[in-house]
Amino acid sequence: MLDAEVRELMQPFVLSDYQVQEVYSRFCLEVARGLKRSTHPQANVKCFPTYVQDLPTGDEMGKYLALDLGGTNFRVLLVSLKGHHDATVDSQIYAVPKDLMVGSGVQLFDHIAGCLAKFVEKHDMKTAYLPLGFTFSFPCVQLGLKEGILVRWTKGFDCAGVEGEDVGRMLHEAIQRRGDADIAVVAILNDTTGTLMSCAHRNADCRVGVIVGTGCNACYVEDVENVDLLRADFKKSKRSVIVNAEWGAFGEGGQLDFVRTEYDREVDEKSINRAEQLFEKMTAGMYLGNLVRLVLLRALERKLIFKQSSRRPEFAGVLQRNEEVFETRYISEIEDDSFPEFASTRKIVRNLFGLEKASVEDCQTLRYICECVAKRAATLVAIGVSGLVNRTSNRRVIVGMDGSVYRYHPKFDAYMRQTLQKLVKADKEWDIMLSEDGSGRGAALVAAVASKSK
């Protein structure tokens, strides 16, 4: 049985029906403001047009390179589109050292071009002409398919000299500086666009792409008439365009203050991008573990957990010393654990605090804390998804999803569905589909449909 006091501690994370409705209305309003030219500058859900206007048909063919930068790792991929909705992907993961994440932009792009050159050499393709799709998962103003001006860094990146610059050009220049491969950057895309495209490759009804990983964001297919910022010449022959919502920034105008907790405020205050990406800080993998860590500290202080142990101050010290000590993946492991053994939970507690025998009650308390933090994240994500699904003109809408939190959390999908059921309009038929390598396959597909429509 859970302590009433533990329930009370977590109450601020439990969204009431009224709060869910209110966040939903405020979110929809921000999307509408982001799309309108007159309100766009003040809106915090920017809704950037991506210039991707064709969804894949499944018959795309050819070999494409893809780069994926935007999470914990950086990847280079070789994607072979084979027609018949089929593709194979060969990829290599490279770490992005912490100092590169906050160094100079030129250094970052030189590193990327270096990895690319090694990859091409390894695959014996140094002399081949290769079109490349660059999945760059940060907020960008796109001026066309291959030009993306970085608006701001997120997710712990902060390289000098890139904000306000065209990342397509920076990558192109880094490749030119080396001069050892014939690679053309043909498209810049967000990971959400990649997710939507890779799901649409399999299921033609996909209209929304969502990432809940290190960061959190979504894109969707919008009618061109509603997208003021799309250049007029792109409205003539095509009816729709993918819009990158960049919903991570939702709340920067105070819209979420009525649901943000003291823990959310602390996460924000200690972050390198204060007052920015507030919705993302309540939903994404980069922050969820930290939220649990802060709640645990409060639970220790109030003697709501590890009551039997005299080492509570020592445990608090462990949690205080390192913001990243409670990893987000623990939330998934703990929620996946079985009662009353709690084997994974006990292992996590042992590794963190050196506590051999966490009681069943301790494990239940810890699980409840994780559950409340994850469920709130899933509810918020589903509020945003509902807003986008309701905006699309299709009756049947598939939502393509990816990201480590969505993928590995045992209940994230189920939590999301509960909220979607409440908010998606009754005349819509919807489902969620897991994306297969959106950042790679999706990038190749964007590059392929772009060359097809030329």
328 sits near ligand BGC (criterion: CB under 6 A): no
Report the site for ligand BGC in 259-318 (rule: CB under 6 A). 280
Among 135, 142, 192, 419, binds ligand BGC (CB under 6 A): 192
User: Which residues pair with residue 209 across a beta bridge?
Assistant: 219, 400
Among 93-101, 110-118, 208-216, 288-296, the segment contacting ligand BGC (CB under 6 A): 208-216
Residue from the set 44, 50, 198, 217 that interacts with ligand BGC by CB under 6 A: 217
Burial of 265 (0-12, 13-18, 19+ CB in 10 A): middle
Binding to ligand BGC (CB under 6 A) within 147-186 occurs at: 154-155
Kindly identify the residues of this chain, within the stretch 67-126, that bind ligand BGC according to CB under 6 A: 70
* CA distance linking residue 435 with residue 412, whole number of Å: 15
In the complex with ligand BGC, the residue whose CB is nearer, 246 or 362, is 246
Q: Does residue 402 interact with ligand BGC by CB under 6 A? A: no
Which among 108, 200, 215, 237 has a CA at the least distance from the CA of 160? 108
Q: Shortest approach of ligand BGC to residue 222 CB, angstroms? A: 17
Question: Which residue intervals of 123-190 are DSSP H helices?
Answer: 167-178
CB 74 within 8 A of CB 96: yes
Which CB, 142 or 365, lies closer to ligand BGC? 142
CA nearest 174: which of 120, 126, 106, 119? 106
From 135, 137, 283, 419, residue interacting with ligand BGC (rule: CB under 6 A): 137
**Cβ of residue 285: shortest distance to ligand BGC, in angstroms?**
10
Query: What 8-state DSSP symbol labels residue 337?
Result: P
Q: Which of 367/441 has CB closer to ligand BGC? A: 441
Query: Would residue 155 show up in a list of annotated catalytic residues for this protein?
Result: yes
Give dist(CA 46, CA 249) in Å, integer. 8
Residue nearest to ligand BGC (CB): 215
CA distances from 8 to 71, 290, 375, 450 (A): 35, 20, 16, 53
223 neighbors 233 (Cβ within 8 angstroms) = no
Q: How far is CA 89 from the centre of its chain?
A: 21
According to the binding rule CB under 6 A, does residue 438 interact with ligand BGC?
no
Q: Which is nearer to ligand BGC, 54 or 280 (CB)?
A: 280
Rounded to whole angstroms, the Cα distance separating 346 from 333 reads 11
270 is catalytic: no
How far is it, in rounded angstroms, from Cα 217 to Cα 198?
16
Which residue is catalytic, options 191, 268, 337, 437? 191
Binding site residues, ligand BGC, CB under 6 A: 70, 137-139, 154-155, 190-192, 211, 213, 215-217, 246, 248, 280
Active site residues: 155, 191
